[in-house]
Structure 1
Amino acid sequence: MTSSQHPEGHPDDGPHSQEIRHSQIGALVPAHVARGTFSTGAVVLQGQYEFIVDFLLRMQQPQQVAARVILPPGVVAQFINALQDNLRKYERRFGPIHQPAIPPQEKPQDGQRQSAQDLYDQLKLPEDVMSGNYANAVMIGHTTTEFSFDFITTFFPRSAVAQRVFLAAPNARRLLESLTHSYQQFQDRIRQQNSSTPPVPPPSPNSGPVVPGTYDSGPQLPGTMPPGALPDEEPDESAG
């Protein structure tokens, strides 16, 4: 449900915010976010502590990053599950999503996938987009032709939508494929790191009991277990 903060019969010509409520989540929608950003595809990158999702606009030259969203790993896993569920519901209601054919000149040749550096050399990354918008929750909706993504911060005293993005249905499926592949790489790297971590030596008899968690400086938050940076890693791209 979407509701305006201004009562009916008393319009306000100035900027205003909205509130959305769905599945026990209520979030403020600031005026500068409410109209949303249209995207024709996305690139998923892995940072040291987070995932970066760059939503692209390739309908003009130079092609550019229209929106950048920063997500912790735990939220990416929830995002994947929610998007899978939404795609299943979409196809039950509207039928299968048909992917458009990719022109031969745009298909990557075997063994010649674009590196992240090569890709971003061709993209315009505006300064006001460069730092991105952090989100720790995602709300997904769809119509007959598009999917909408509200990226939300659930901070005290109330939740707010940090970024709203629209994707055509075929590109929503490509986004799911890119997210799934990138998150699988992240999990593989974590497993590899855990298997190669040397065992912690037992405490000396005079050191006293070891209490779990006493070495922590604060609460453990999603994404604080660094997967380690891979500067040469290829990006996962879903583009229309």
Structure 2
Amino acid sequence: MDNQNQNPQDGNINIQLNEMIASGVYCNLALVNHSPSEFVVDFIQMMPGVQQANVRSRVILAPLHAKRVLAALQQNVANFEQQFGEIKEVEPFVLGGNNVQA
């Protein structure tokens, strides 16, 4: 699946999305770690009653891009809640060391 071509001089880029990536993966846990130069986000799928969880995808971001992703998520959550109602948390948010679990 290809998005339409855009002119880079107009500030737009051509983004390619192949079918394998477009289908996505289901994840119900994310772990975030950071160093001075990067953020690492592991997206994990946990199954109830199973002690082992599998990392389905790892995304490594520069600090500036991590902050932009945070802003985009905050805006999209606000838009979602305005349209569908508040998202209520049912599980506690856990912090540990440099690792944040969501």
Q: Taking structure 1 as the reference length, what is the TM-score of the superposition? A: 0.35
Q: What is the match of residue 90 of structure 2?
A: 100
Return the alpha-carbon distance in structure 1 between the equivalents of residues 74 and 84 of structure 2: 15
Report the CA distance between 1:19 and its aligned residue: 2.1
Q: Does 2:43 align with 1:55?
A: yes
The CA RMSD measured in Å over matched residues stands at 2.3
> Given the alignment of the two structures, is residue 70 of structure 1 paired with residue 60 of structure 2, yes or no?
yes
**Residue 91 in structure 1 maps to residue 81 in structure 2:** yes
Distance 1:100 1:20, change over 3 A: farther
Larger relative contact order, structure 1 or 2 (CA cutoff 8 Å, min sep 6): 1
The list of structure 1 runs, each at least 4 consecutive aligned residues, that deviate by more than 4 angstroms after superposition, is none
Aligned amino acid, residue 29 of structure 2: G
Judge conservation of contact 2:34–2:98 (CA < 8 Å) in 1: no
Measured after TM superposition, the shift of residue 77 of structure 1 is 1.0
Counterpart residue identity of residue 58, structure 1: M
Name which one, 1 or 2, has greater alpha-carbon Rg.
1
Distance 1:101 1:36 in 2: 24
Question: 1:4-23, aligned counterparts within 5 Å?
Answer: 18-20=1-3
* Aligned counterparts of 2:85 and 2:30: Cα–Cα separation in 1: 24
Query: Which structure 2 segments of 5+ residues have no match?
Result: 5-11
> How much identity, in percent, do the aligned residues show?
27
Deviation at 1:86, TM superposition (A): 0.5
Letter in 2 for 1:75: H
> What SS class does the counterpart of residue 37 from structure 1 fall into?
coil
* 1:98 Cα deviation from its structure 2 partner: 1.4
Q: Residues 40 and 20 of structure 1: is their aligned pair in 2 closer, same or farther, counting only changes over 3 Å?
A: farther
Count of matched residue pairs: 93
Contact 2:27 2:56 (8 Å CA) reproduced: yes
